[in-house]
Chains A and B, each alone.
Chain A
């Protein structure tokens, strides 16, 4: 198997944190559309 389920899960958590930070904090503050 290329990588473990746990690595996948960690990836999802980090991805969600990055996405929410971008969309909720950075995009509104910089008025990115």
Chain B
């Protein structure tokens, strides 16, 4: 797959990303999808926000039911002791981790991969290559 070559890494401002965004219409479509909240229904936004805490909670609950120890809440007490930590986590995590990743992978690469493979295979290729 040309846009997944080693010289055009995907994360932030890759060759593939740039090539894709050279086209004016593609660029407009891309940014519209980035900022337009109407693309996603409230239900899916709630799902996206809640699925990780739900999976975490379910796994802890099952582990405790099987005799495991409850998880320590040290991270929460650390954040409580120093609330600036959460700003640090969000800013660093979002700006340098999740945001460029989503723009490059979800916004550009996955679309192309899905034109070739089904969603599961496309995601696996992206996960293994990324």
A interface list, Cβ under 8 A from B: 1-4, 6-8, 10-11, 14-15, 18-20, 23-24, 27-28, 32-33
User: Dominant SS at the A interface?
Assistant: helix
- Which residues of A have CB within 8 Å of B75? 2
Q: Given A2-B75, A3-B63, A4-B69, do A14 and B123 touch, yes or no (CB 8 Å)?
A: no
B60 touches A3 (CB 8 A): yes
Cβ contact within 8 Å between A18 and B120: no
- Report yes or no: B55 in contact with A18, Cβ–Cβ below 8 A: yes
The answer to whether B71 touches A7, judged by C-beta atoms less than 8 angstroms apart, is yes
| CB-based contact A7/B63 at 8 Å | yes
A-B contact count, CB below 8 Å? 50
Can you name 30 A-B pairs with beta carbons within 8 Å?
A: A1-B72, A2-B71, A3-B71, A4-B68, A6-B63, A6-B66, A6-B68, A7-B62, A7-B63, A7-B68, A7-B71, A8-B59, A10-B58, A10-B59, A10-B62, A10-B63, A11-B56, A11-B59, A14-B55, A18-B55, A19-B123, A20-B120, A23-B118, A23-B119, A23-B123, A24-B118, A24-B119, A28-B119, A32-B119, A33-B111
Q: Which residue on A lies nearest to B75, using beta carbons?
A: A2
Q: B120 and A23: CB pair below 8 A?
A: yes
B98 to chain A, nearest CB (A): 17
> CB-CB contacts of B47-75 with A at 8 A, as 1s and 0s?
00001000110111011001011011011
* A3 CA / B57 CA spacing, docked (Å): 12
